[in-house]
Each structure stands twice: as structure tokens, then as C-alpha cells.
Amino acid sequence: MAITIELPDINEQRLTLLRRGAEKGCEILRLNLEAPHYGSARDFNAETFGDKHLRTENEGWEAPVPELVNAWFGQFQATFTEYASEAKLGALLGLNGKQADRRIRAFKSGEISVPYGIWRRFLVITGRASQEIIPVLGIFDMKIAN
């Protein structure tokens, strides 16, 4: 006697995984609101630099000036000592490879501007910006139709 196991098709399985992912994402967003609060960077007034570094690309984002990068990265690294090294901060922000620490130092010095994606991730991690939620316009099957 053969044993058969009924499994939903691949698209139903994928939809189940999408639902689980969405539910997990909602839970993380709720927990984000309960993160500890910290004061502003000591002896630093970020308001003097305007708000273009806080905007999205569609809203006219501009890369932050090195003074701001230095102050905010420094405050974060002092608060979360597990990211005190530039290499660990770089890894957290999505920089890969052996040059992550050098790139963080280059951002701090102004040698190169912080790219939007890396800066945005930092803003989200530090609660200075909301996470972007991209609406799904349709769920397309993965299976090739016959």
C-alpha cells in the first residue's frame, strides 16, 4: 500500500509563506515602537543641518554632511558597544567585505558621501525614520503555465 501525502501546490505554499512573513513583519514593527529611547548626540545640534538627510529620495534626499555622520554614528557606537568598531557598524548597515571599516571611516571623514540605502537603514535602525512598506500590487504565480 502506497502512502500519499497531499501537499498544496507551490503557489499556495508561497502564499502561506508570504502571510507568515507579513505577520512577522507586523510584529517587528510593533516591537520597534517599544525600543529604548535615547537622548540626542551630546553637544551636537542636528537641526542646524536641516532635514534633507531625513527625507526619502522622492522627497529630495541629500546625503548627510560628515559632521552629522560622525556625531550620529559616534553616538550609536557609544550606545551599542557591540558596534563600536567600524567593521561591525559597516556589517550592520549592509556593507560586506574587508573594506567595510574603511568605508565607514570615509563616510565619517566626508571622503565619500553615505549612499542613500545605507543611510536610510541607519535612520530606521535608530528610529529616526519609518521603515518603508512597499505595497503589493499583485501576487503572480511562479509556475510556468502550459
Instruction: Classify 15 as helix, strand or coil.
Output: helix
What is the band of 146 on the pLDDT scale with cuts at 50, 70, 90? low
- What cell was used for 131? 521603515
pLDDT band at 42 (very low <50, low <70, confident <90, very high): confident
Question: What grid cell was written down for 39?
Answer: 537622548
pLDDT 10s digits, 85-119: 999 999 999 998 889 999 999 999 999 999 999 99
CATH code at position 100: 1.10.260
What pLDDT does 116 receive? 98
Q: Quick one: pLDDT band at residue 36, thresholds 50, 70, 90?
A: very high
Distances (CA, A) of 113 to 78, 102, 103, 110: 22, 13, 10, 6
* Average pLDDT over every residue of 42-69: 95
The model's pTM: 0.86
For residue 132, is it within any domain? no
Instruction: Judge whether residue 144 has pLDDT over 70.
Output: no
Average pLDDT score, the chain? 93
Which comes out higher in pLDDT, residue 29 or 1?
Answer: 29
In a domain, 138, yes or no: no
Query: Please, where are the H alpha helices in the chain?
Result: 10-32, 66-79, 86-92, 100-109, 116-125
In a domain, 119, yes or no: yes
For residue 114 the three cell numbers come to: 553615505
Chain center to CA of 108: 19
Give the range of the structural domain holding residue 108, as residue numbers without chain letter: 46-125
Q: What is the pLDDT of residue 6?
A: 85
| Tally of structural domains, the chain | 1
Average pLDDT over residues 1-30: 90
Whether 118 is covered by a domain: the verdict is yes
Report yes or no on 5 lying in a domain: no
Spatial neighbors of 131 by CB under 8 A, at least 6 apart, are: 29, 32, 124
Is 113 a domain residue? yes
Residue 102 lies in a domain: yes
Alpha helices (H) in 39-79, listed in sequence order: 66-79
Residue 9 has pLDDT above 90, yes or no: no
Does residue 55 fall inside a structural domain?
Answer: yes
CA nearest 69: which of 130, 35, 118?
A: 118
